[in-house]
Amino acid sequence: MRLSQFFGLSGTQGTFDFIDVYVDKDVALFIDPSAIATINSDWADECTATVQSFFQRVLHEVSAGHKTAALDLLGHLSEENATHLGYSQSSKGSGIGAGLAKKFYDELSSSAAVTTGLISDLEETALLVPGIEEDRISDVTTNILRKQLAEYTVDVANYYGIPLHSGVALNGPEWDLTTTSWKTKTYNLPMGPQGPLLLVPKSIARRKLFLNAGDYYTWHVLEHLKQLEYNNPQSPFMVILKSGTPKVRKTALSDSLKSAAKAATGNKAVIKHINAATTAQAPDILSRYRALQDQRTVRAPTSAEVATATDTAEVDLDNLLAEVLAVPTGKPTATDYERAAEALLSALFYPELLNPIRQFRMHDGRKIIDITFTNAGDPKRFFGWLGAHHPAGHVFVECKNYAGDVKNPEFDQLAGRFSPSRGKYGLLVCRTITDKSKTIQSCRDTAQDQRGFMTPLDDDDLKVLVEESKSQGSVSELGGLLHKRFLGLI
């Protein structure tokens, strides 16, 4: 049974910000620290700093030969099934258990890449250290981030009205970033049939980690070894083409390397054995790989990819739009309109805008924002471009279910939510705009007064965004409706 079914939630995987896992078995997805590091939010920044803090402590103790101290740190890692992510079909866990501390220590301490300081991040162990795969990294990350995942879970639970149980104990402590030590704590969490639940944002979950041993081997290690063969006149892998051009037979070279590694390791972790041995001799390979990865975008899984991974239906934008349009205008149905609009916008804007928070209170609760999104946009698309040039770490949405036009007080209300630290861009979603040029001029006046940027969207505009998403795959493309409306403000 899905979490959404268990709690009777209205929505689908396409409208949820979290992974709609089963409550009685696991989904084969994994938390990727590299994905967390790319999200521009206070929550993600704290997550990244916390993971780095723990792993740097572990690396220091391992490299210094402090086995007892390292085992003490690793010994607090425990089996945690609350996320229901991983390979275990029965959700009883696999990668973490009583023997993890010694096993993890042995894997790290026996790796030259660790003891020589070549590895600096937890996710890099997936490239070079035998035995450490995506499930292990995901499990360890879950352990380290219990506090942050619990906070996210509470936000989601409050958003959807999921009941919380106080004083819930998870299977281990949380890593305290301030004291750089483990800290035992209880949480307020939802309870499933098998125990407490930790929800995970779909933006940080992957089927395959961004740093992948197979990719590193194929495109970096093997290419390096191939170039070395060109400098070896006696290379058994060299052939001369009819044109007289020498060529290294890459497949034959790879087969030979794997055969030798199998003989040396007993057919275990062959690719990582080659990666580690080659990188130890030529550390620049890893340095170049890091530099290249830093230039790449850690792309969030698309809605279609999430649907495939979770075995759920793909998002139906036409149906979500129809639900918005079907809400009668007027104050009695204002909440229904806000929820329908949020479901549509969450699906339209993912993965550019994440973690919607409904009825966010600010200024000691005196002001409320209908919906607040975290801006995680790609710099090559509108929301990312916007965040790179203007204060837009968050995007605010006000929903007005009026039968007539919105007027200046509604625009002033949205502008009053802006600040340089929170963000100065928002959407005013309403049912109809009789004179769009006049309304956009009003928004332009606000922008020219340096009070922030507002884009009005009525029912007809939502129809355009749905068509853009269906035809282009995104509503955040430069040149689309949102981008054109913003250019009209400046």
Domain edges within the chain: 3-206, 213-295, 316-487
Look up residue 99 and give its two tokens. Answer: 């023997």
**Where on the phi/psi map is residue 49: left (φ > 0), alpha (ψ -120 to 50), or beta?**
alpha
Tell me how far apart the alpha carbons of residues 75 and 180 are, in angstroms, rounded to a whole number. 15
Does the pLDDT of residue 341 top 90, yes or no?
yes
Task: Give the pLDDT band (50/70/90) at residue 41.
Answer: confident
Tell me how far apart the alpha carbons of residues 85 and 94 are, in angstroms, rounded to a whole number. 11
Mean pLDDT of 154-163: 92
Does the pLDDT of residue 386 top 50, yes or no?
yes
Least confident range from 38-42, 225-229, 307-311: namely 38-42
* Enclosing H/E stretch for 430: strand 425-430
Tell me how far apart the alpha carbons of residues 287 and 119 are, in angstroms, rounded to a whole number. 10
Tell me how far apart the alpha carbons of residues 443 and 150 are, in angstroms, rounded to a whole number. 39
Q: What is the pLDDT of residue 88?
A: 65
Instruction: Describe the chain by its helix, strand, coil percentages, rounded to 5.
Output: 50, 15, 35
Other C-beta atoms within 10 Å of 460: how many? 11
- CA 151 to chain centroid: 16
Q: What is the pLDDT of residue 268?
A: 73
Mean pLDDT of 392-413: 86
H helix and E strand count, the chain:
22, 15
What contacts 302, CB < 8 A, 6 or more positions away? 351, 473
Q: What is the pLDDT of residue 414?
A: 73
Q: What pTM, to 2 d.p., does this model score?
A: 0.83
Question: What's 302's DSSP letter?
Answer: P
Give the CATH class of 316-487: alpha beta
Torsion of CA 445, 451, 452, 453, to 10 degrees: -10
Cβ–Cβ < 8 Å for 36, 167: no
Does the pLDDT of residue 295 top 90, yes or no?
no
DSSP state letters, 176-190: ETTTTEEE--EEEE-
Sign of CA dihedral 83, 86, 88, 93: negative
Does the pLDDT of residue 359 top 60, yes or no?
yes
Residue 245 corresponds to which amino acid? T
Q: What is the pLDDT of residue 360?
A: 58
Mean pLDDT of all residues belonging to the chain:
88
Cβ–Cβ < 8 Å for 148, 170: no
What contacts 262, CB < 8 A, 6 or more positions away? 270
